[in-house]
């Protein structure tokens, strides 16, 4: 008697599911470091030009958090710091919402999306993602959580309901 091979029946919804390739750690890190220079440097120079040369030599918010002596002798201007962080947040959130990419993410061929729909995330989720960056930064391990997860989502992605996928 000859054996027949049984073909596995495909469920109609299986073919409709998009193939998602989550972005691994190193392309994400490359994109983040690129954005520090391509977005961060122009904003910092703009704020320094607006608030004067002395602004470049004041302590940073991080110096205040870690109680660096520089923060006591030359404290940051709170207005300049708030303006700078506001410009950072506005730039990142608008770029993520408009195209899913910042310049660094475009270079790394990755995109920020809603983790459930894989479509453009809402402004609220993207704002929460930006705030989550600071929690990831403070804990340091928050950036590396994705290394151990199948979906490669870091702490800020988990908190905001976003994911970073490969842009094919």
Structural domain of 68: 25-166
Calpha distance 9→134 (Å, rounded): 47
Asked if the structure places residue 6 within a domain, the reply is: no
Q: Contact at 8 Å (CB) between 76 and 95? A: no
Give me the number of domains the chain comprises.
Answer: 1
Q: CA-CA distance, 39 to 16, in Å (whole number)?
A: 37
The pLDDT value given to residue 81: 84
**Residue 75 maps to a domain:** yes
102 part of a folded domain:
yes
**pLDDT the model gives residue 52:** 80
- pLDDT for 4 equals 55
Cα-based distances in Å from 32 to 9, 17, 48, 148: 43, 29, 22, 19
How far apart CA 168 and CA 160 sit, in angstroms, is 23
Torsion of CA 116, 122, 124, 127, to 10 degrees: 90
List the chain pLDDT tens, one digit each, 168 residues.
555 555 555 555 555 556 789 999 999 999 999 999 999 999 988 988 888 877 767 777 667 777 778 777 877 788 888 898 999 999 999 999 999 999 999 999 999 999 999 999 999 999 999 999 989 988 889 999 999 999 999 999 999 999 999 987
Instruction: Reduce the DSSP state of residue 123 to 3 states and report it.
Output: helix
Distance CA 62, CA 54 (A): 18
Give a yes or no: residue 113 inside a domain: yes
Q: How many residues does the chain have?
A: 168
Q: How high is the pLDDT of residue 139? A: 87
Name the pTM for this structure: 0.81
């Amino acid at each position: 008697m000859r054996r027949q091979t049984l073909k596995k029946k495909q469920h109609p919804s299986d073919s409709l599911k998009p193939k998602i390739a989550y972005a691994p750690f190193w392309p994400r890190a490359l994109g983040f470091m690129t954005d520090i220079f391509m977005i961060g440097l122009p904003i910092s120079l703009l704020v320094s030009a607006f608030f004067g040369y002395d602004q470049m030599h004041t302590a940073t918010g991080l110096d205040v958090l870690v109680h660096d002596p520089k923060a006591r002798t030359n404290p940051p201007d709170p207005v300049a710091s708030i303006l700078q962080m506001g410009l950072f947040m506005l730039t990142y959130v608008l770029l993520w919402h408009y195209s899913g990419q910042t310049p660094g993410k475009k270079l790394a061929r990755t995109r920020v999306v809603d983790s459930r729909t894989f479509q453009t995330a809402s402004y609220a989720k993207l704002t929460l993602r930006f705030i989550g960056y600071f929690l990831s930064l403070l804990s340091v391990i928050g950036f590396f959580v994705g290394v151990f997860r199948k979906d490669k989502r870091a702490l800020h992605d988990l908190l905001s309901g976003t994911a970073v996928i490969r842009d094919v």
